[in-house]
Amino acid sequence: MANPFESVNAHLEQCLCPTSSSPAGRPESVFRTFRRFNRARRGKKHCELCDICLHEDHRHLFEISNGRIVCACDACALRFQAVNEGRFKLIPRSIRSLPELDFDDSVWEKLALPINLAFFFRSSVEGKIKAIYPSPAGATESLLSLNAWDSLVDENVVLAHMEPDIEALLVDRVGTKREYFLAPIDVCFELVGLIRMHWRGLAGGEVVWSEVDRFFARLQADSRPI
């Protein structure tokens, strides 16, 4: 079976952002073009709407029709700040921690994920929740048990209000950690790229897990609790 994330995975190493599936054959999808927003031209990033040179900490937009993520200057990005049904959605910057999330081990096991790192978001194009986990090969979609997700939402009403496409539940259950965040979708894919870039051998190696720890420490420092 073709990997629906093949195009994204091929670009993750080149396209990490500092802040931050559709069926195979679809010409443009959220995963096929997800990391295109961080392209470099002559060593600099440019707004994909007006072509102005961007600073490193620029904004990102989600293009509804084809799932494309684009770089945008502040002026262009803010035009879509209150737009819900237009061509673009402005990807948020806020990271919210969920220290009281009711997510016990039995619920996690029902989700049948092979790794204790994952994120979940609602695709407006496909009209369903997607579960994505990072791997040495990049982003991989899991066949999510809808019953398990529905049970999780029943116990945690905050998850019912995630913004489709651009906001995700990001989960870190590595070792003894039980950390949960509502995070912008580009931040979630930053974790995917980080693991793809640093993974070595069968278990990943010390470097990749140190990088993962730093990633979540930064999220914790930048987040506000719900």
Q: Which residue has the tokens 């081990």?
A: 105
Residues of the chain with pLDDT > 90, as a percent, come to 52
Is there a single domain that holds both residue 142 and residue 46? no
Q: Residue 165: which of 45, 34, 2 has the closest Cα?
A: 34
2 CA to centre of own chain: 21
Span 174-197, average pLDDT:
93
The model carries a pTM of 0.78
**192 found inside a domain:** yes
Is there a single domain that holds both residue 128 and residue 191? yes
Is there a single domain that holds both residue 11 and residue 70? yes
Span 64-75, average pLDDT:
84
The number of domains in the chain is 2
State yes or no: pLDDT of 9 exceeds 70: no
**68 found inside a domain:** yes
Sheet containing 88-90: order of strands: 68-72, 59-63, 88-90
Is there a single domain that holds both residue 42 and residue 17? yes
Q: What is the pLDDT of residues 189-226, one digit of tens each?
A: 899 999 999 999 888 899 999 999 999 999 999 999 98
- Looking at residue 5, its pLDDT comes to 53
The residue among 66 and 113 whose pLDDT is bigger is 113
pLDDT band at 92 (very low <50, low <70, confident <90, very high): very high
Is there a single domain that holds both residue 76 and residue 109? no
Distance, in Å, from the CA atom of 151 to the CA atom of 31, rounded to the nearest integer, reads: 27
State yes or no: pLDDT of 13 exceeds 70: no
Is there a single domain that holds both residue 216 and residue 107? yes
State yes or no: pLDDT of 28 exceeds 70: no
Residues of the chain with pLDDT > 70, as a percent, come to 80
**152 found inside a domain:** yes
DSSP 130: E
pLDDT band at 60 (very low <50, low <70, confident <90, very high): very high
State yes or no: pLDDT of 33 exceeds 50: no
Domain that residue 184 falls in: 96-225
- Looking at residue 40, its pLDDT comes to 45
Span 47-62, average pLDDT:
91
Span 109-138, average pLDDT:
91
Is there a single domain that holds both residue 118 and residue 78? no
**194 found inside a domain:** yes
Is there a single domain that holds both residue 50 and residue 102? no
Would you state the torsion angle of the CA atoms of residues 197, 139, 217, 15, taken in this order, to the nearest 10 degrees?
50
The residue among 89 and 33 whose pLDDT is bigger is 89
118 contacts: CB under 8 Å, gap ≥ 6 = 111, 131, 132, 133, 142, 170, 171
Is there a single domain that holds both residue 221 and residue 124? yes
State yes or no: pLDDT of 153 exceeds 50: yes
Token output for 108: 């996690």
Sheet containing 96-97: order of strands: 138-142, 128-135, 117-123, 167-172, 179-184, 96-97, 224-225
Is there a single domain that holds both residue 12 and residue 61? yes
**Domain end position, chosen among 37, 66, 90:** 90
Is there a single domain that holds both residue 73 and residue 101? no
Span 32-43, average pLDDT:
47
Distance, in Å, from the CA atom of 131 to the CA atom of 144, rounded to the nearest integer, reads: 6
Distance, in Å, from the CA atom of 91 to the CA atom of 81, rounded to the nearest integer, reads: 9
- Looking at residue 168, its pLDDT comes to 96
- Looking at residue 67, its pLDDT comes to 67
Look at 16-25, 77-86, 142-151 and tell me which has the smallest mean pLDDT.
16-25
**Domain end position, chosen among 47, 66, 90:** 90
pLDDT band at 7 (very low <50, low <70, confident <90, very high): very low
**209 found inside a domain:** yes
Length in residues, the chain: 226
Is there a single domain that holds both residue 45 and residue 135? no
**1 found inside a domain:** no
**Domain end position, chosen among 90, 117, 148:** 90
Distance, in Å, from the CA atom of 188 to the CA atom of 121, rounded to the nearest integer, reads: 10
